[in-house]
Amino acid sequence: MRGDSKGFHRQILHLRWALPALLFLIVLAYETYEHAILERNLLGLHFSAEVLFFGLLGPTLVGLTLNWITRSLEERERVEEAARARMERLNLELEEKVRQRTQSLQEAMTELGCKNEELQQLDRLKSEFISLVSHELRTPLTNISGGIELILQFGGNLDRAQREALRIMTQECARLNRLVQGILNVSLIEAGRLCLHRGPIAVPPIVEKAVKNTQVRAGERRFRLPTWGYLPMAWGDEDALAEILLNLLDNAVKYSPNKGEIAIEVKKLGGQEASASTPSLLISVADEGPGIPLGEQTKIFEKFHRVASGDDRKTYGYGLGLYVTRKLVEAQGGHIWVESKPQAGTRFNFTLPLARLGNEEDPPD
């Protein structure tokens, strides 16, 4: 396009002088033929007037028009040239910016790679630390707890105060052991290495065992168990279910009044409560504690979140129990939620899918 425009411009430049001269010669030849041959009056006034009018005025107008066209084309070429120069300058600036951004991205990617290696190294260190905690601390805690139980069993000369001190030590060992287990569970969950062995499980024995283990540190709090009738088997992991129940019961003990009641309910969901394609078992743990404010109910299942941050016996904890509980419930295909009102107690509900009848080797859909 640019070459065609310049060629057309050159043609116009040539025509600007050639065309008026050609027109003048044509007019002169025609007027000469008309007056010299036809009228035989070459030197008359009409000949001179017509030559001046048609031979000079017409070509002059054509020349002026072509000159105007030429200048317009030149102006257009100057504008286009300026636009091309500006575009080339912008392209060069854009290429420079792209180069700089590319270099910045490469540097950022390099830095990100280094940071990623550092994070991987930190993750390995964290895994090593968790391994140290889970093995090096759990073993001495188990030995201490076992030693205290032996002393309590065979220490016939111990007075009441000594036995009470040993009992408290046993409870604290169990508390530390549960903290270590909670940290280990969090590490496994976040690393995606939580391994569950799902299958059909009978819920009542697990509930009763969890309540029995919790009663040791429950003080004067009462536990109300459901009246066991026919109850279908759930589909899940026995150890995970036991961990869920222990976390919820321990939470209820912490926030219940000393002589309060902790109620456990287990029932099969049916009708409008559950979809027919995914029958579930509902397990609830309710206490008579102070309740949970509405604004806190959406946060209690987050890691390290605690409604109360006091360090007293009633509210001890590290904000891991409910987080681990939610993850364990969801890993088994269930759902957990809380119902609570201030000064009206709290009820934690969670579901587990039911095992299929006649095909218990496969998990339910």
Q: Give domain status of residue 265, yes or no.
A: yes
Residue 336 has phi, psi (to 5 degrees) of -130, 140
For the record, the structure tokens of 211 come out as 């309540």
Does 208 lie in the same domain as 182?
Answer: no
Distance CA 310, CA 33 (A): 124
Distance of CA 41 to the CA centre of its chain: 103
Does 141 lie in the same domain as 214?
Answer: no
Does 349 lie in the same domain as 204?
Answer: yes
Pairing relationship of beta strands 336-340 and 199-201 according to DSSP bridges = unpaired
Give the residues of the chain that fall short of pLDDT 50. 273-276, 309-314, 359-365
Does 333 lie in the same domain as 212?
Answer: yes
Count of domains forming the chain = 3
Domain boundary residue, one of 32, 65, 99:
99
DSSP SS3 for 364: coil
Does 317 lie in the same domain as 177?
Answer: no
Q: Give domain status of residue 120, yes or no.
A: no
Q: HSE-up of 121 (CA within 13 Å, CB side)? A: 6
Does 184 lie in the same domain as 204?
Answer: no
Neighbours of 54 (CB within 10 A): 17
Does 46 lie in the same domain as 9?
Answer: yes
Helix-helix angle 321-331:160-190, to 10 degrees: 50
Distance CA 232, CA 129 (A): 41
Domain boundary residue, one of 156, 171, 189:
189
Instruction: Give yes or no for a contact between 334 and 201, defined as CB atoms under 8 angstroms apart.
Output: no
* CATH code, domain carrying 268: 3.30.565.10
CA distances from 187 to 23, 101, 351, 354 (A): 99, 39, 24, 28
Q: What angle do CA 244, 245, 248 make, to 5 degrees?
A: 85
Neighbours of 358 (CB within 10 A): 5
Q: Give domain status of residue 361, yes or no.
A: no
Distance CA 62, CA 268 (A): 103
Instruction: Give yes or no for a contact between 250 and 218, defined as CB atoms under 8 angstroms apart.
Output: no
Q: HSE-up of 84 (CA within 13 Å, CB side)? A: 8
pLDDT at 248: 93
E strands within the chain?
199-201, 222-224, 234-236, 261-268, 280-287, 336-340, 346-353
Q: What residue type is assigned to position 6 of the chain?
A: K
Q: Give domain status of residue 55, yes or no.
A: yes
Does 215 lie in the same domain as 338?
Answer: yes
Q: Give domain status of residue 346, yes or no.
A: yes
pLDDT at 323: 87
Does 349 lie in the same domain as 203?
Answer: yes
Q: Give domain status of residue 234, yes or no.
A: yes
pLDDT at 364: 45
Instruction: Give yes or no for a contact between 19 and 63, defined as CB atoms under 8 angstroms apart.
Output: yes
Q: Give domain status of residue 146, yes or no.
A: yes
Does 348 lie in the same domain as 203?
Answer: yes
Domain boundary residue, one of 136, 169, 189:
189
CA distances from 344 to 204, 297, 348 (A): 27, 14, 13
Q: Which domain holds residue 49?
A: 2-99
Distance CA 32, CA 296 (A): 112
Does 158 lie in the same domain as 51?
Answer: no
> pLDDT tens digit string along 148-187?
888 878 777 888 888 888 888 887 887 787 777 777 777 7
pLDDT at 238: 93
pLDDT at 205: 94
pLDDT at 313: 43
Does 211 lie in the same domain as 171?
Answer: no
Instruction: Give yes or no for a contact between 329 and 336, defined as CB atoms under 8 angstroms apart.
Output: yes
Q: Give domain status of residue 118, yes or no.
A: no
pLDDT at 185: 75
Q: What residue type is assigned to position 307 of the chain?
A: V
In sequence order, which ranges of 133-159 are alpha helices (DSSP H)? 138-154
